[in-house]
Structure 1
Amino acid sequence: MYPMFQKIKWLISVSAIACLVVSCTSPQKIIYFQDATDFETLVDDGNAYSSRFKVDDVISIYVSTLNPEASSPFNLTVGVAGDSGTTVQQVDYLVDKEGNIDFPVVGKIRVAGLSPEELRLLLTEKLNDYLKDPIINIRLRNFTVTVLGEVSRPGTYPVNGEQITILEALGLAGDLTIKGERKNILVIRDFGGTKVYNRIDITSKNAVKSPVFYLTQNDVIYVEPNNSAVASASLDSRTTIAISVLSLIITTTVILITRN
């Protein structure tokens, strides 16, 4: 009887050790910027990031001067009925399929490919014939990024401001799970209907030099499962069967022993 129990105990121990080995993950696979050293500085190459307007963007443009009456024709508004009466709201501009917006008085202006600062300078130049020292505020209304895959909170997130890094976007999504592949994160970017696929390794300090470190509006980030997650998924069904078989063997063995 005693040797039989020893065999059962040995089988259970081996199974437990195997599960622990499979579940182990190397620190080199999950630590961010692991090749960065203390006080190391990466100098910008001079090409400062700037967001660019795209087709179907929604842009808010507000023009102001010391004379409100003079600037009012350049600020389109619409009355919106509500419980407390009619309120006046500013009308935003949609970038059409040709990359243009239709601006009051001035007419069509091509904005696709321009940065907010470049558009501000262009409008200032065009409005100089009508206004003295115009102040132009420009804001992108539809700046969102979508984070999918092995993150804590997948979803689409609005961005306040004109720029966001991939690290900030992952932070909005609650960071990667332990099952996320950090060396091969996919960023899908749209340029006028053309999809561009880029990958970035955030375990390396050189991630900050990637063309997708700074995100653009409507970028999609996909974090794929790492090898251990894939292996774990493929083993789930096998593990269930193995546990069932092991339980049956133990139960049968115990019954046979107690009968002797």
Structure 2
Amino acid sequence: MPILKFISERFRANLTFIFYLSLFGSTACVSNKKLVYLNDEELSPEEVKTYQTKDLETYRLQPNDVLSIEVLSPDPQAAEIFNGQGQKSNNLGFREAEASFYLTGFSLNEKGEISLPFVGAIKVAGNTIEQAQDLIQKSVDQYLKNSTVIAKLVSFNITILGEVRMPGRYTIFHSKATIFHGIGLAGDLTINGSRNVKIIRQTPEGNEVFYVDLRDSELLGKRQYYLQPNDILYIQPIGAVTSRSNLSLLTVFFAGISTLVLVLNYLQ
């Protein structure tokens, strides 16, 4: 069957060409410029460059945030009425204390209020931590003189997904944590990770989505350099890596096609 033989040979030749073309594309090298953080080719080792950071975007409390509130007073027994159970986590280990804060801390309800023992509901949503602390202080002063209120946000959590060594959810104890702090907690990006990081940020108006290019040294002077509570960082795989991950699938596909060619040859 000469026609069948001709089709088989042409098909096999085209198949070989496509296979090697796919193999070349899947093993393409990644440029070093696509991997280096804060790349600044104009900066020499002898120079020092200062980046003026813009004003940090102040975080404002939202429902479901958790506060640690401590009331101090010359009369510890009187202050204990306001502290409730929240301060019993001081002698616990790190992980136990973190979990305890969620159980004994003061969580903002859907109305943006906390319920402080003896005082009652105080609306703090929409305020900064400092402003919320002042509001709580004024409420406590009505019942306890010469007191000092210390309020802290204990629900500063971020989630890091994708091409990092240890993806997961992390708690940050730093009011000015940067994107590199977060990436450091996750063990750094893998070599397969895109340096153009997608960030999903929760705001009272809804979820914002934007990208931060870790290769751009000008990032050090931008507001996006800093993390906010509840940020989600997603690191996508770079294109060449995606192609390589599909190589095994291509191999299976071409193996099946090769079997078909053998069958055609057998039928000749």
Q: TM-score scaled by structure 1? A: 0.73
**Gap change, CA 1:21 and 1:231, over 3 Å in 2:** closer
Specify which of 170, 173, 187 is matched with residue 183 of structure 2. Answer: 170
Q: Partner amino acid for 1:138?
A: A
Q: CA deviation at 1:189?
A: 1.5
Partners of 1:116 and 1:180 in 2: how far apart? 35
The equivalent residue for 2:230 is 218
The equivalent residue for 1:251 is none
Q: Greater helix share, 1 or 2?
A: 2
Q: Partner amino acid for 2:82?
A: F
Partners of 2:114 and 2:138 in 1: how far apart? 16
Q: Secondary structure of the equivalent of 2:170?
A: strand
Q: Secondary structure of the equivalent of 1:212?
A: helix
Matches within 5 A, 1:1-260: 22-35=27-40, 37=43, 38-45=47-54, 47-77=55-85, 91-183=104-196, 185-192=197-204, 194-239=206-251
The equivalent residue for 1:84 is none
Q: CA deviation at 1:213?
A: 2.3
Q: Partner amino acid for 1:34?
A: N
Q: How many pairs does the alignment contain?
A: 225
Deviations 1:149-188 (A, max 9, x none): 11111111122243422111111111111111112x1111
Indicate the RMSD between aligned Cα atoms, in angstroms: 3.3
Q: TM-score scaled by structure 2? A: 0.71
**Gap change, CA 1:64 and 1:97, over 3 Å in 2:** same
Partners of 1:170 and 1:237 in 2: how far apart? 31
Structure 2 spans left out of the alignment, 5+ residues: 1-15, 89-100, 259-268
Greater RCO, CA 8 A, separation 6+: 2
- Aligned residues with identical type, % of pairs: 29
Structure 1 spans left out of the alignment, 5+ residues: 1-10, 81-88, 247-260
User: Are the counterparts in 1 of residues 26 and 243 from structure 2 also a CA contact under 8 Å?
Assistant: no
